[in-house]
Amino acid sequence: MDLFRNTHSLVIGYLLWIFGFTGSHRFYFGKPVTGTIWFLTLGLFGIGWLIDFFLIPGMDREAALRFPAGEIDYNFAWVLLTFLGLFGVHRMYLGKWITGFLYLLTGALLGAGYIYDYWTLNEQVAEKNFVP
């Protein structure tokens, strides 16, 4: 297992940047506070969104150093959360079957769990990938 491979994808980062006024690329690269600020201010009124185009490679390098590689793929987990998060599929992928089925039955606890997972998914994957 290559512990020093890049855990996040520049391509996915830039695809999420297209919708950057929602802060999705910042959540993806492990910056939930600024992701929330971008969401609430439409990418700091578009100016921060444009600047982020040039900052994404640095965010990618930082994420590679911060989050350990392992059996669980960050990119796949993020795609599952983004498109199937309300059904808990990303949680099932992480092996969290009980909360996955709970999300499935409740629409991710009426959306609150979906938002929580946007804040914490990188840490959840890192925890699963940590090998003592």
- In a domain? residue 3: no
Determine, yes or no, domain membership for 36.
yes
CA–CA gap between residue 117 and residue 27 (Å, rounded): 10
d(CA 67, CA 50) in angstroms, rounded, equals: 26
- What confidence tens digit (pLDDT) does each residue in 92-108 have? 999 999 999 999 999 99
pLDDT tier at 50, thresholds 50, 70, 90? very high
Which pLDDT band holds residue 1 (cuts at 50, 70, 90)? very low
Structural domain count of the chain: 2
DSSP 68: -
Domain ranges, residue 16: 10-66
Q: What's this model's pTM, rounded to 2 decimal places?
A: 0.88
Average pLDDT, the chain: 92
Indicate if 118 and 82 belong to the same structural domain.
yes
Tell me the C-alpha distance between 102 and 108, whole Å: 7
